[in-house]
Structure 1
Amino acid sequence: MRYPVRTRPPRPARFLLGLLLVAVPLLLALLGPLLAGEPGPRAASFTLGDGHWAGTDFVGRDVWRQVLLGGRTVVLTALSATALAYAVALPLGLAAALTHRAWLEDVLMRPLDVLLAIPSLLLLLLVAAVFHPGTAGLAVLVALVNIPDAARIIRATAAEAAARPAVEALRMQGETWWRMAVGYVGRSTLRTLTADAGTRLTGVLYLVATAAFLGVGVAPDAADWAVMVDRNRTGLFVQPWAVVLPALLIVALTTGANLLFDAAQTPRPHPRTPLPAPPSTRKAPHP
């Protein structure tokens, strides 16, 4: 018996590739500042050689040293903003799905709809223009613009599980809200959250990088991967490494994260055995 041919890469291959792609930028972000060393003398802008194997940037600094120093703000800000967004959106979405009071659901979800109607980049720029946030403030702002969408996804996913008879049975038994929300309904949202986490991290990185381009939360000459891409783009065809290296690291982080989350939500294939052949309809001859 022939089975359909698998067209997607096997789950271990996607997981290992995603782990490799994520490990490189994460290790550079965490260990890079320890390996950067002391800054050397500045050279001419956008040059190669002279002790700088990756060349120099727009103000003559060593590109590789800037890469080692520039990952911490981008990576940690994006990861912190994503975790903070889910930390707020998850209880809001579960509470809205489990409540039987329409007014309480409106109180929880309608303010989020107002935030969702405002373009995220515009809200980020408006708040940043008033408060001038640092790196921690930028993580909070990016999390704020991601909470409404994440909460709506969680609420929509959890609502189906909250309407099952098992939840009503748990209520009649006097189970706590925590046990119903996390122990039963929350587990029904895991696959959706896993699928959403990869794309949300990509969107968060986009917002963090865009904010760095515009000078929000990061100094214009800071050692930051997003700032490097923006400030060195004028010398792209003269000294491309100042743009290519940080851009590749950002792409590797987003692509690897999506592969990891995709591998996590893909069910393991179960071995299948061929079904027995149907009994023959041919009548046996009479003796």
Structure 2
Amino acid sequence: MRRFLPGTAVVAVPLALALLGPLFAGEPGPRGVSFTSGDGHVLGTDFVGRDVVAQVVHGGRTVVVVALLATALAYLVALPLGLVAALTDRRRLEDLLMRPLDVLLAVPSLLLILLVAAVFPPGAGGLALLIALVNIPDAARIVRAAAAQTAAGPSVEALRMQGETWWRTAVGHVGRASLRTLAADAGLRLTGALYLVATAAFLGVGVTPDAADWAVMVDRNRPGLSVQPWAVVVPAVLIVALTVGTNLLFDAALEGERPGRRPSKPSKGTRR
């Protein structure tokens, strides 16, 4: 369990603020004088005179929830697509599934988000769908690549000869054999989703310009950075901590499952 301590220590504060902060903080405070320090505000005020502490407490939920939802939606679509492409014996079906995804991969993710967001109104649900759409092509290719070797092995052929269902063969055997690779990709995918959520909010996509959001705070409070830096520094540090902590936790989980890893030495009082 010690290997999880660094990641937990880094991610604990931003995650607690994002998920639990709004439950105990109540409504954000009213507007006042922009970019002030003191006057009852521990970290001063933001670009429209709102208390920075209140904005920080309310500003993480969108980042975390949208990133988690987008990652889950991406794998909900990518997992069956990748498994079907890996297990099918028909080349045409594989091309039909994977070639359109290759076209989407050629479009830069931020450009796709900006183009689609220009048509649809801002909202957390729409932003999650956009980021999921951006991640589906790459995630499906990873699933297919991870499952291809096992799908071509004798164990899958034996399961087919025994009359096992496609679901048990694909998920119960091929999916389980690919679980380590998919877990590593999920960590990177979640980190990338956090980056895209923050970037989209920074560009004003998916959220209102004055929303209580960490990325919006970084963007909108930049003009007063030299006067009131806390409105920029605090949300920026929280976003970085959330991203780094997530990577550390996934790395620790994969480290514990590494094949050939030596078991820990028994204590002196343990009988063999």
Common topology (TM > 0.5): yes
Match of 1:137 in 2: 126
Q: Aligned letter for 1:226?
A: A
Could you tell me which runs of 5 or more consecutive residues in structure 2 were left unpaired when the two chains were aligned.
267-272
Deviation at 1:122, TM superposition (A): 0.6
- 1:18 pairs with 2:7: yes
Q: Greater shift after overlay, 235-244 or 170-179?
A: 235-244
Find the counterpart in structure 1 of residue 210 from structure 2. Answer: 221
Q: 2:33·2:48 contact (CA, 8 Å) conserved in 1? A: yes
The residue type paired with residue 111 of structure 2 is L
1:70 is aligned to 59
**1:42 positional shift:** 3.8
Indicate the residue corresponding to 1:270 in structure 2: 263
Partner of 1:80: 69
Query: CA contact under 8 A between 2:70 and 2:128: conserved in structure 1?
Result: yes
- Map Cα deviations across residues 15-41 of structure 1 (whole Å, 9 max, x no partner): 122123223222211221122234445
How far did residue 197 of structure 1 move? 1.8
Please point out which of 104, 122, 134 is paired with 1:115: 104
Amino acid aligned to 1:82: T
1:126 to 115, 120, 125: 115
Moved more, 51-60 or 41-50: 41-50
Answer whether contact 1:42 1:61 (CA < 8 A) is retained. Answer: yes
User: Aligned with 1:132: secondary structure?
Assistant: coil
Q: Structure 1's 168 and 41: CA in aligned 2 closer, same or farther, altered over 3 A?
A: closer
- Relative distance call for 1:41 and 1:166 in structure 2 (3 A) is closer
Number of residue-to-residue matches in the alignment = 262
Which residue does 2:244 correspond to in 1?
255
Q: Once the 2 structures are TM-superposed, how far is the Cα of residue 151 of structure 1 from its aligned partner?
A: 0.5
State the 1:261 CA deviation: 0.8
The answer on 1:199 being equivalent to 2:188 is yes
Deviations 1:170-217 (A, max 9, x none): 000000011111111001221111211222222111111111122211
Could you tell me the TM-score, scaled by structure 1's length? 0.87
Contact 1:132/1:216 (CA < 8 Å) preserved in 2?
no
> Closer, same or farther in 2 for the Cα pair 1:141/1:17, shift >3 Å?
same
Partner of 1:3: none
Q: 1:52 to 1:157 in 2, by over 3 A?
A: same
State how 1:45-64 maps to structure 2 within 5 Å.
45-64=34-53
- The one-letter code sitting in structure 2 at the alignment partner of 1:97 is A
Which residue, out of 88, 98, 101, partners 1:99?
A: 88
CA distance in 1 between partners of 2:28 and 2:88 (Å): 58
Q: CA deviation at 1:227?
A: 0.3
Q: Runs of at least 4 residues of structure 1 off by over 6 A? A: none
Query: Contact 1:70/1:225 (CA < 8 Å) preserved in 2?
Result: yes
Q: SS of the residue aligned with 1:222?
A: coil
Aligned to 1:127, the other structure's residue is in SS state helix
The residue matched to 1:130 in structure 2 has which SS? coil
CA distance in 2, matches of 1:14, 1:235: 40
Q: 1-side partners of 2:136 and 2:31: how far apart?
A: 43
1:186 pairs with 2:179: no
2:148, 2:28 → 1: CA distance?
A: 55
1:227-279 per-position Cα deviation (integer Å, ceiling 9, x unaligned): 00110112222211111111111111111111111111113532589xxxxxx
TM-score in terms of structure 2 length? 0.92
